[in-house]
Structure 1
């Protein structure tokens, strides 16, 4: 083993798909985990947070507003210069119901003017939802499956049995 390297492979509970926990695809990960990482860009637009206390959703990387993720607009340099880190949650960048980012950001990043500060509820945690057909629904594997599975055409074939005169049956198969 090379000094300074780790043989530990991150598991699903250690990495989120938000982009904050970027995991490179390496030869060390299992086939299933590799496939999940490969489709994270397909899944990410459907994963939305409903803000409760603002302590779970990343202000920069998670989708909790139509303009999110905010890192699509704000630069790492701007974060650093303003004293922010990439790991802040929504509640960390708010004070008394208003954003704490610099006023100059509204001219540098004009779309921030459209991002309204959410109302925080101290006793309510942020919740993850799945966005399907414009609506937020409770997160469930069946919704993910419906969004990412490939659908092929159904082909029907007429099969005539030459042994039985006049016997006809239908067979269908899915073409993916």
Structure 2
């Protein structure tokens, strides 16, 4: 369930929501005890963010709430059997990471090296290179 901007929202809030969409693909979760990672909205599964992969029908079929952590969702999920199973649900079920006692960890692009300069270089639009970029003495 993504947050939509409204006309009454502040400029700062609207800009933050736009950045969220740009940054989201780069934030990944390493699952440990599964208590602090959201089942549908965090990138913890190797197929990606599940709310982007599963249809509303598939989410409903699994009986998972949007606010469920991975741990709570897996405790109550009912994996469908037979002809009702979609390919995406099957891929989701067959590729679950193993549970361990460590805390869940949120990482930037799969590394613990979170720097604002890395984020800027990843999300900014570089545009085209101007023909004068190699001009001598240009600072």
TM norm structure 2: 0.74
Contact conserved, 1:106 with 1:113, CA < 8 A, in 2? no
Contact conserved, 2:32 with 2:105, CA < 8 A, in 1? yes
State the superposition RMSD in angstroms.
Answer: 2.8
Contact conserved, 1:48 with 1:128, CA < 8 A, in 2? yes
TM norm structure 1: 0.61
Q: 1:92 maps to which residue? A: 72
Higher relative CO (Cα under 8 Å, sequence separation at least 6) belongs to 2
Q: 1:120 maps to which residue? A: 99
Contact conserved, 2:37 with 2:104, CA < 8 A, in 1? yes
The structure that is strand-richer by fraction is 1
Equivalent residues in 2 for 1:24-173 (5 A)?
Answer: 24-95=4-75, 100-104=77-81, 107-115=84-92, 116-122=95-101, 124-131=102-109, 136-138=110-112, 139-151=114-126, 153=129, 155-157=133-135, 170-172=137-139
Bigger radius of gyration = 1
The structure that is helix-richer by fraction is 2
Q: Structure 1: any 5+ residue segments left out of the alignment? A: 1-19, 159-169
Q: Structure 2: any 5+ residue segments left out of the alignment? A: none
Q: Structure 1 108/144 Cα, relative in aligned 2: closer, same or farther at 3 Å?
A: same
- What is the Cα deviation at residue 149 of structure 1? 2.1
Give the paired residue count: 133
